[in-house]
Amino acid sequence: MDKRYWRVTDPVQVDEVPGLGNLLVPAQSNMDAQTRYRSGASMEDAMRIAFATLALVTAFSLPAMAADQVEKAPPAGAYKRVSELVKLPDFLPGLGQLYVDPKTLPAGPFLAYDRDGKLVSTVYMLPIEDLTNKDKRFEDLASPGGKVDHVDVYFNAGHPGVEKPHAHVVLWHVSKADETRVAAK
C-alpha cells in the first residue's frame, strides 16, 4: 500500500498512518467504515505545514500581544511618564498622559492615554530640521499601539523635551469622536 494513503477498514481502528502508527477512531465517526480513502502527506510535508502554521500564528499574534502590553497605563517595558522626565503637565489637553522610552527621543513613539488610563494614540515628534535633511531617515519606528483608526499630522513650535520645531504625527487608536477622551476638562 502506498504510504501516502490510509484506509479505514474497521469502525474503530485505522490502518497505519505514516509516522503515527495505528490510530483509534470513535465508532460514532461520520467516516464510512467500509472503505474510505483519504489522501495523506509525507511526514516531511506534515512537518512543513505544521511549522508554517505555527509561524503564521506567531506572526499575527505578536502585534496583538504588544498592543496588550500598552493598552493600559502605565505601559510595560522601558516606558516612563513624560511628566517625570521633563517639565510638562501630567495630562496634556489634546494628547493625554504621555509615556515614552527615553532611548527613542526625540521621535518616540509616545504612548498617549486618556484619564482612565486607556491608550488613545501613538505620537511621533519629528524635528523639522530632520525632515528637511535629505540624509536623515526615520525608519522602523515602533508602533506598539495596535490598530490605527486615523492619523493627524501638525506642526509644533517646540516644548520641554522636544524644544526644536517639529511635526506631531498622531496615530489615533480611537475614532474621531472618541478623541474627546483627551480633551481639556
HSE-up (13 A, CA, CB side) for residue 85:
19
Q: Closest Cα to residue 117, out of 23, 45, 181, 34? A: 181
Q: Does domain 80-182 have CATH number 3.30.200.270?
A: yes
For residue 63, the model assigns a pLDDT of 45
Return per-residue pLDDT of the chain as tens, 185 residues: 455 554 545 454 445 555 555 555 444 444 444 434 444 556 676 566 555 555 544 444 444 444 458 999 999 999 999 999 999 999 999 999 999 999 999 999 999 999 999 999 999 999 999 999 999 999 988 889 889 999 999 999 999 889 999 999 999 999 999 999 998 76
For residue 130, the model assigns a pLDDT of 94
Q: Is the pTM of this model over 0.75?
A: no
Taking the mean position of all CA atoms in its chain, how far away is CA 49? 24
Q: In 10 A of CB 44, how many CB atoms?
A: 9
Residue 140: phi, psi to the nearest 5? 55, 40
Q: Where are the alpha helices (DSSP H) in the chain?
A: 43-70, 82-85, 128-131
Q: 112 with 119: CB under 8 angstroms?
A: yes
Q: Where are the alpha helices (DSSP H) in 139-184?
A: none
For residue 69, the model assigns a pLDDT of 87
Q: Which three cell numbers stand for residue 48?
A: 512543513
Domain map (residue ranges) of the chain: 5-70, 80-182
